[in-house]
Each structure stands twice: as C-alpha cells, then as structure tokens.
Structure 1
Amino acid sequence: MIISTREIEVRYAETDQMGVVYHANYLVWMELGRTQLIKDLGFNYAEMEKDGIISPVLDIQASYKKPLRYGDTATIKTWVEEYDGIRSVYKYEIFNGNGELALTGSSKHVCVKKDSFRPISLKRSFPDWHEAYLQAVKKPEDEKEQV
C-alpha cells in the first residue's frame, strides 16, 4: 500500500467564528490529498481531464475527531483503499500539528467520459494508471502490519 502525505498550513479564512477549521474545508483538503497521491504515483489528473475523462465523487464520508485551528499544520495521509478497475475508494486521515487524528474520511470515485458521463475502464483507457492502482491499493497483509 502506498500512502501519500501532504501538509497544509491552516489559513485564517478556513476557520469559522469559533476559531476552528470550517467543516467543508476538510473536503477540499481530501481532494488535495487525492491529487497528491495521483501525482506521487506519477500521473496528472489535469492531463486526464484534457483527454475528456473526469472522476466525479459518488460518495463521501468524514468523521471529525479533533479541531484544527488557524496556524496549525494539517497533515493529510491518503491511500487507495479499494479499486476494481472502474471505481476507486480513497481513504484519508488528517492530523493536527501535534500528530493527533483530526479527521478520518473516504471518497468513492468513478472515471467517466466528460461528454456522456459513461463510465470507462481504466485498464483499457489508461493501462499505466490501472497498473499503478493495482500496486498502490491496500492489501490484506497491510491490515496485519497495522495491528
């Protein structure tokens, strides 16, 4: 399993009146984590879009554990939890500057043709991405290592 890491300094504009990061910003950070993972695997999502393929979100989940505040550094860890050749499930953990877990989340995506929204097979259309995802996806032995 490949885990990508991205750090973000929390900006004042990302906080609410209570001085904590507004909940919707975590979704943006999850996207930053996902695109960082794609980059770490050697690919560029913007290039895929130029080829007329987009990857809409089918489902998203977020569980908030601890607040992040202005001036904190958020560390986003992202990996491919599931991949079946068409759909990908990404998992996220976001930590605060003290290394405490602030959020766990996941998002499910599918690659589709931009003009028709018809799903495509990554194996056929982007075989390099397909192979990279097969290598990157969480495997049963990864579970044993975390215990």
Structure 2
Amino acid sequence: MKNKDDISAGNESPSVTTGTANTISSGKAVKAAKPVPSGVLFPENDPIFQHTVYIRSRYGETDKMGYLYHARFIDYFDVARTEMIRLGEFNYKKLEDSGIIMPVLDVQVRYFEPVTYDEEIRILVHVYEWPQTRLHTHYKVTGSGGSLKAYGKVSLCFVNEHTRKPVRAPKPLLDAMRRHVQN
C-alpha cells in the first residue's frame, strides 16, 4: 500500500511518496537486476532498517538527452534519508537544534539505466549497522517496472556544530530507529 505524502514546496521539491518496504507491492513483474560484485555498495548481511520513497522526476532535473541529470540521484538519496529519519518522529531539525550536524564524508553511485522525465522511481534506503559516529546509508533505485536504475551509498558523520569534532549518534535518533524496527 502506498502512503502518499507530498513534501513538495511549490516546484522546488520532487513529489515524494513514502512507505515501508514490506508494505509496498506493485503487482508487476520485476526484471532481474544486473549482477554487482557482492560488498561493492551493499553488505552481504540483511539490513537492520529500510524505508522506501517514491519520487517522480521533473523536467528541470533532466538534461538535453531527456535523462535525469546524474547528480540529482544524490539529491534524491538525501530526500530518502531525510524521510527515513523522520519515521520515528525525529528529523534533521531536532538533530541540528541539539547541536549536531551531519556532514557527508563519502558518496558512491553506480548507474545502470537512465531515469527519464516524469518517470516515477522507487528509492529503497537501507541501513546495515547501528550508527555510532557515522551513518552509512545504502540505496537501490528502480523504475516503475522494476528495472534497476542505480545503486548508491552515502556515509555521514555526527559532528558537534561548535567544536567540529565527531560525536556519537544521538540517543533520540537511535530510539526512533529502534521504534521503527520494532513495528
């Protein structure tokens, strides 16, 4: 079942639909994903946490070929991660209000097939380990027919905004994640 939550602000944000991965069912046949060497962007163990976000690409995000501009995938990863964090009644604003920021340390994207204008894509964001001083998020992007569009990984660090030193993941964020896992 899809849960439509449009987080757009005018035309500045993509239209987004969110839902947990175990509640999403398209009923359509899914093409087999192209093989990727194990451990490249996804660990071999099962994720401890996952969330699905649906986004429709917009005209201004495409290039002359009619394809979604490659850097937009990173923006979409940010949308998926933000929605994932928001699940347990926690969000980036609360994090920043507590004096913690999350700079990006590393971004990896592996592209398989282009996303075209007005195409709805599914972004499945996985977390494979409980965050300590870093949060590692892994992404699988598929098209409406299930075709594999991209894999991604983003690593962020929890940092004290005043000292600029790494800190442990805040307890309210971990508690929010645990609540989601238990549901």
Consecutive unaligned residues of structure 2, counting only runs of 5 or more, are: 1-47
Is the Cα contact below 8 Å between 1:82 and 1:90 reproduced in 2?
no
- Unmatched tracts of structure 1, length 5 or more: 138-147
| Aligned position for 1:130 | 174
Shift of 1:70: 0.4
Backbone CA RMSD of aligned residues? 1.8
Report how far residue 21 of structure 1 moved: 0.4
Change in CA separation of 1:128 and 1:51 when aligned onto 2, cut-off 3 Å: closer
Higher helix share: 1
- Give the TM-score normalised by structure 1: 0.83
Write the letter of the residue equivalent to 1:70: Y
Identity among equivalent positions (%) equals 31
Where in structure 1 do 4 or more consecutive aligned residues deviate above 6 Å? 134-137
Residue 29 (structure 1) aligns with: 76
* Aligned partner of residue 3 in structure 1, secondary structure: strand
Please tell me whether the aligned partners of residues 85 and 177 of structure 2 are also in contact (alpha carbons under 8 angstroms). no
- Please give the TM-score of this superposition, normalised by the length of structure 2: 0.67
Partner residue in 1 for 2:105: 58
Counterpart in 2 of 1:141? Answer: none
1:86-123 CA deviation, whole Å, 9 max, x = no partner? 1111000111121111010101111001122111112x
Greater RCO, CA 8 A, separation 6+: 1
